[in-house]
Amino acid sequence: MVARVAIAAPLVGAVIAATSVSAQTTISPTPQATLVELKIPSPEKDFPIRDVYVWTPAVQPSAVATLPIVYMLHGWPGTPNGIMGGVLAPLQAAFKKYGKPFIAVFPDGNAKTHIDSEWADSYDGKAMIETWLTTNVINTVEAGDIRPAADRAILGFSMGGYGAAIIGLHHPELFGQIITLAGYFVTDDLTNAFGGASHSSKVAYQTPSNFLKTANKSRWFLSESNQDFTALIHGQAASWGKKLKSVNASYTISELPGGHSYGYVASEIPMIVQWLKWPLFTAPTPTSSPSNSPTPTSSPSNSPTPTSSPSNSPTPTDSPSSSESPAPTPTPSGSN
């Protein structure tokens, strides 16, 4: 069971602080998972306020502030609802079986001007999704308990897999682990978010291979379904794995059946939960009020409506070829 709550961004710190304080004197016999909807400002024209959903597993309130966090990026066309529908039930089952719970965060990466956003800051500033995610979203979600990179991961499916890879490469100081599910490691700018040939520096900035020098600062989980034959994705995990090997980066490649679907994503969740490594994180004692959060205040009523349907399957993807992985491969669960 998931308790769903809608809350304005500046109140998040207050909610975490309140649950932490109450937990000092009361232990809930039946903690419930919660899903909180946030409205977080973005420095752009397309969506000045964007939606983010924060799912916290069923743990005692005193444990919430010490949980690691995984940011989960949807594909295109797609929405947070789509990827949440694919992963929340498998996450709850995996946490029950293996432990190692974490908070899952689902931002909305859609855009208006360049609808295939690629989770990027567009060349013309109409969408500023990468900047929004790596500043306002993290500062809001983690207000009062900012995690170190070792306690923060980024995961994405399809276009979100590309987004997780390029954002992780741009920001190794933020993300210690990167998970790509049916992702790609080349530019696929269908709606000119990068500006094309006239903006070659932006295109170069969005090209993952140009940032290989930072790739060995994170652990990588590369997944492709062996039944996904989308041209854009086919062989991408194996190809990127070879590049990671060339810079001595730690990586694992997984190939499961399921095609290009959230069913395939769900089948990878038990292995991902086992693969993730989290150091023991002790949260600082909260000393500031939520009004001190560095994130700008937003009004839920000003939130724009996402333009894509959650029922749509995300972007094109591929099927894997040979896999090689210097990192030890987790043993998949029988539920896969």
- Where are the chain's structural domains? 2-302
Confidence (pLDDT) at 188: 98
What number of other Cβ atoms are within 10 A of residue 4's Cβ? 11
80-98 and 262-275 helices cross at what angle (nearest 10)?
Answer: 40
Spell out the residues 6+ positions from residue 238 whose beta carbon is closer than 8 angstroms to its own: 253, 320, 321, 322, 323, 324
Output the pLDDT for position 237: 98
Query: What average pLDDT does this structure show over 211-232?
Result: 97
How far is it, in rounded angstroms, from Cα 246 to Cα 307? 40
Answer yes or no: is pLDDT of 2 > 80: no
Rounded Cα distance, 125 and 132, in Å: 12
Q: What angle do CA 324, 118, 10 make, to 5 degrees?
A: 110
Q: Judge whether residue 41 has pLDDT over 90.
A: yes
Q: What band does 280 get if pLDDT is binned at 50, 70 and 90?
A: confident
Supply the pLDDT for residue 282.
56
**Going edge to edge, which strands form the sheet with 251-256?**
2-6, 33-41, 49-56, 103-107, 69-73, 152-157, 177-181, 219-225, 251-256
Which strand (E) or helix (H) includes residue 263? Answer: helix 262-275
**Residue listed under structure tokens 């039944």:** 227
pLDDT mean over 101-114: 98
| C-alpha to C-alpha distances, 165 to 155, 184, 186, 299, 328, nearest whole angstrom | 8, 8, 10, 31, 20
Question: Which of residues 76 and 6 earns the better pLDDT score?
Answer: 76
| 152 in Cβ contact with 234 (< 8 Å) | no
83 closest CA partner among 170, 14, 182:
182
Q: What average pLDDT does range 255-262 have in this prediction?
A: 93
pLDDT band at 30 (very low <50, low <70, confident <90, very high): confident
CB count within 10 Å of CB 128 equals 22
The CATH number given to 2-302 is 3.40.50.1820
The sign of the dihedral angle between the CA atoms of 191, 195, 196, 201 is: negative
Rounded-to-integer distance, Cα 297 and Cα 38, Å: 11
Mean pLDDT of 25-31: 63
Q: Which two tokens stand for residue 291?
A: 């009004």
CB atoms within 10 A of CB 203: 17
